[in-house]
Amino acid sequence: MKNNNYFTRYLILILPLLFINLNAQEEVDALEAARLAKSAAEKAQAEADAATEAAISAAAEKAAAKARENAVKAKKDAEAKKLADAKAAEEAELDALAKAAGEEAKRKIAQELGLDDGSSEEEATAEETENTETVAEEVAVAEETDAVEELAVKEESGFSIGVAPSIGFVSGASFTSVPTGATVVITTPWGFGLGPLAFTISAAFGGYAGQYDTEKAGEDVGDGEHYITKFNPTIMGIGGNLTLAKLLFTEGHVGIVGKGPGIRGFAGVSLENLMKKGLNLPVNILIGGEGFITTSLTDAGNTSGWGGLGVRLDFGF
């Protein structure tokens, strides 16, 4: 009986301890499960965040590529539109100029022919229609004439070189035969206007030959003899010419004549209108009187001069 009481006591003590142990083990398992669940949730959240970021990056890259493509297309479209607008404006301007020129030419020619000026379509007649080909031909002729005149103006604005042979008529006492020779004149495009006159700068170079014969001069040198002294004066000077209405001109150069300072003068008539406009030739002819004066014909220093008829042929270039 006494042993039964001990067993009962032990049983009473062991059962609570066993129950407490079982409860503690269950709490440990629950904590471990919660920890594992939390770790899995955190891993799933990290994976979800990574997937979201990757999706956002891919979407951003796609949007950026699309935006760049749209920007390039918009720029190309703008450039194409700009070129098209510029070309359209240029074509419109050329069409307007051509139309205005055609209308003006038609009006002028119609006035010259005594026809209607074609200012309104209601006033156009059958006669004007029949004269269309004639008007077109006259317009072409007028354009060719304008082109020729423009070419002539360009030639006049450039340099020219002229050769002027001179036939002597009078001379100073230093000569018994008037010097003959030629002068080369280089005309520049530089100059200025003096009212109705046009002044142009030019340079002159030339050479002449003359002589003094004591027999012709009536000098007695004794024993019936005579002597001849030859002179070959050269010309080098700078100056210019004045022209009135491309018809009358006067030209002067200052420089060296012979052995000392001197001047050259040339004045007369220019045939420029006849040669260039009338005959459509790129040359000009000047005819007039030409004279030379020198302060020193030879080293001896004698002053002299000569003059005659000069004819010069100018070539423009």
pLDDT of residue 102: 78
pLDDT of residue 278: 82
Percent of the chain with pLDDT over 70: 74
Question: Contact 169/218 with Cβ under 8 angstroms?
Answer: no
Decide the pairing of beta strands 304-316 and 234-244: unpaired
pLDDT of residue 154: 45
Mark the ranges of the chain whose per-residue pLDDT is less than 50. 2, 117-122, 124, 148, 151-155
Q: Quick check: pTM over 0.75?
A: no
Instruction: Compute the Cα dihedral for 275, 279, 283, 285 and give only its sign.
Output: negative
pLDDT of residue 113: 66
Instruction: Please state the domain extents for the chain.
Output: 157-316
Per-residue three-class SS string for the chain = CHHHHHHHHHHHHHHHHHHHHHHHHHHHHHHHHHHHHHHHHHHHHHHHHHHHHHHHHHHHHHHHHHHHHHHHHHHHHHHHHHHHHHHHHHHHHHHHHHHHHHHHHHHHHHHHCCCCCCCCHHHCCHHHHHCHHHHHHHHHHHHHHHHHHHHHHHHHCCCEEEEEEEEEEEECCCCCEEEEEEEEEEEEEEEEEECCEEEEEEEEEEEEEEEEEHHHHCCCCCCCCCCEEEECCEEEEEEEEEEECCCEEEEEEEEEECCEEEEEEEEEEECHHHHHHHCCCCEEEEEEEEEEEECCCCCCCCCEEEEEEEEEEEEEC
* Domain spanning 157-316, CATH architecture: Beta Barrel (2.40)
pLDDT of residue 121: 47
pLDDT of residue 139: 52
For residues 262 and 237, what is the distance between their CA atoms, to the nearest angstrom? Answer: 8
pLDDT of residue 16: 66
